A and B are shown apart, each in its own frame.
Chain A
Amino acid sequence: MTAFVARRFLFAVALVFVVSSAALLLTRLAPADVTAELALLAPAEEIARTRARFDLDRRPLEQWGIWLGRAGRFDFGDSYLYNRPVRGLVLDAAANTAVLAVVALAAATAFGIPLGMLAGSRGGLAAAAIRSVSLVCLSLPPLLTSLLLVYVAATTRWFPVGGMTSVGALDARWSTWLADVAAHLPLPALALALPIAATFERLQAQSMTEALHQPFVAAAAARGVAPSDIVVRHAWRVSLRPICGVYGIAIGTLLSGSFVVEFVTAWPGLGRLMYEALRARDIYLVAGCAAMGGLVLAAGMMIGDLLLAAADPRVRERGA
Chain B
Amino acid sequence: MRRVGLTLVALVLLVALGAPWLAPNPPDRSFPQSLYAPPTAVHLFDGSLRAPFIYQQRLISRLERRFEDDESRRVALRWLSDGRLVTVPEEEGPLLLLGADALGRDIFSRLVYGARASLALALVATLAALVVGAVVGAVAGYAGGVVDDLLSRVTEFVLVLPAMYVALALRAALPLVLPPPAVFALLAVIFALLGWPIVARGVRAIIVSEREREYVAAGHALGAGPWRMLAYHLLPSTTGYLMVQATLLLPAFILAEATLSYVGLGFPDSVPTWGTMLQDAANVSLVGRAPWMLAPAAAIFLVVLGVNLAIQGRGRAPVQLEP
Give chain A's interface residues, CB within 8 Å of chain B.
15, 18-19, 23, 26-27, 29-32, 135-136, 138-141, 143-144, 147-148, 150-151, 154-155, 161-162, 195-196, 199, 202-203, 205-206, 246, 249-250, 252-253, 255-257, 259-260, 263-264, 271, 274-275, 278-279, 286, 290, 293, 297, 301
**Does B155 make an interface contact (CB < 8 A)?**
no
CA of A259 to CA of B278 in the docked complex: distance in angstroms? Answer: 16
Q: Chain A nearest CB: distance from B283 CB in Å?
A: 10
Determine whether the beta carbon of A144 is less than 8 Å from that of B301: yes
With A199-B321, A256-B162, A275-B263 as contacts: A151 and B288 at CB distance below 8 Å: yes
Majority secondary structure of chain A interface residues (helix, strand, loop or mixed): helix
**Does B305 make an interface contact (CB < 8 A)?**
yes
Determine whether the beta carbon of B322 is less than 8 Å from that of A253: yes
**Does B258 make an interface contact (CB < 8 A)?**
yes
Nearest residue, chain B, Cβ from A301:
B160
- Of A138, A199, A250, A278, the contact of B168 (CB 8 Å cutoff): A278
Q: Chain B nearest CB: distance from A98 CB in Å?
A: 15
Chain A residues contacting B282 (CB-CB under 8 Å) are 264
CA of A298 to CA of B174 in the docked complex: distance in angstroms? Answer: 28
Chain B residues contacting A256 (CB-CB under 8 Å) are 162-165, 322-323
**Does B151 make an interface contact (CB < 8 A)?**
no
- Of A143, A154, A205, A255, the contact of B258 (CB 8 Å cutoff): A143
Determine whether the beta carbon of B301 is less than 8 Å from that of A140: yes
**Does B225 make an interface contact (CB < 8 A)?**
no
Determine whether the beta carbon of A151 is less than 8 Å from that of B304: no
Nearest residue, chain A, Cβ from B298:
A144
CA of A27 to CA of B301 in the docked complex: distance in angstroms? Answer: 34
Q: Chain A nearest CB: distance from B120 CB in Å?
A: 20
- Of B161, B164, B297, B312, the contact of A144 (CB 8 Å cutoff): B297
**Does B243 make an interface contact (CB < 8 A)?**
no
Determine whether the beta carbon of B294 is less than 8 Å from that of A148: yes
Determine whether the beta carbon of A139 is less than 8 Å from that of B308: yes
**Does B281 make an interface contact (CB < 8 A)?**
yes
- Of A15, A29, A143, the contact of B173 (CB 8 Å cutoff): A29
Chain B residues contacting A206 (CB-CB under 8 Å) are 317
**Does B255 make an interface contact (CB < 8 A)?**
yes
Chain A residues contacting B288 (CB-CB under 8 Å) are 151, 154-155
Q: List 24 A-B residue pairs with CB atoms under 8 Å apart, sorted by A's residue number.
A: A15-B160, A27-B172, A31-B174, A32-B175, A135-B308, A135-B312, A138-B304, A139-B301, A139-B305, A143-B259, A143-B278, A147-B281, A151-B294, A154-B284, A199-B317, A252-B160, A253-B162, A256-B163, A256-B164, A257-B164, A259-B164, A260-B262, A275-B263, A297-B160
**Does B95 make an interface contact (CB < 8 A)?**
no
Determine whether the beta carbon of B301 is less than 8 Å from that of A31: no
Chain A residues contacting B172 (CB-CB under 8 Å) are 27, 30, 278-279
Taking residues whose C-beta sits less than 8 angstroms from the other chain, chain B's interface range is: 35 or more
Chain B residues contacting A252 (CB-CB under 8 Å) are 160-163, 321-322
Nearest residue, chain A, Cβ from B156:
A11
Chain A residues contacting B7 (CB-CB under 8 Å) are none
Chain A residues contacting B263 (CB-CB under 8 Å) are 263, 275
Chain B residues contacting A271 (CB-CB under 8 Å) are 165
CA of A265 to CA of B160 in the docked complex: distance in angstroms? Answer: 26
**Does B52 make an interface contact (CB < 8 A)?**
no
CA of A141 to CA of B294 in the docked complex: distance in angstroms? Answer: 14
CA of A279 to CA of B265 in the docked complex: distance in angstroms? Answer: 9
Chain B residues contacting A19 (CB-CB under 8 Å) are 161
With A259-B168, A274-B165 as contacts: A139 and B320 at CB distance below 8 Å: yes
Chain A residues contacting B162 (CB-CB under 8 Å) are 252-253, 255-256, 259, 293, 297
Q: Chain B nearest CB: distance from A317 CB in Å?
A: 23
Chain A residues contacting B169 (CB-CB under 8 Å) are 23, 26, 274, 278, 286, 290
Chain B residues contacting A253 (CB-CB under 8 Å) are 162, 321-323
- Which residues, 164 to 185 on B, are CB-close (under 8 Å) to A? 164-165, 168-170, 172-176
CA of A26 to CA of B291 in the docked complex: distance in angstroms? Answer: 39
Determine whether the beta carbon of A31 is less than 8 Å from that of B305: no
**Does B17 make an interface contact (CB < 8 A)?**
no
**Does B285 make an interface contact (CB < 8 A)?**
yes
**Does B16 make an interface contact (CB < 8 A)?**
no
- Of A154, A274, A286, the contact of B285 (CB 8 Å cutoff): A154
CA of A150 to CA of B11 in the docked complex: distance in angstroms? Answer: 29
CA of A63 to CA of B282 in the docked complex: distance in angstroms? Answer: 38
Determine whether the beta carbon of B322 is less than 8 Å from that of A31: no
**Does B318 make an interface contact (CB < 8 A)?**
yes
Give the residue among B161, B304, B321 with the most A Cβ atoms within 10 A: B321
CA of A15 to CA of B291 in the docked complex: distance in angstroms? Answer: 43
Chain A residues contacting B161 (CB-CB under 8 Å) are 19, 252, 297
Q: Chain A nearest CB: distance from B291 CB in Å?
A: 6
CA of A64 to CA of B284 in the docked complex: distance in angstroms? Answer: 41
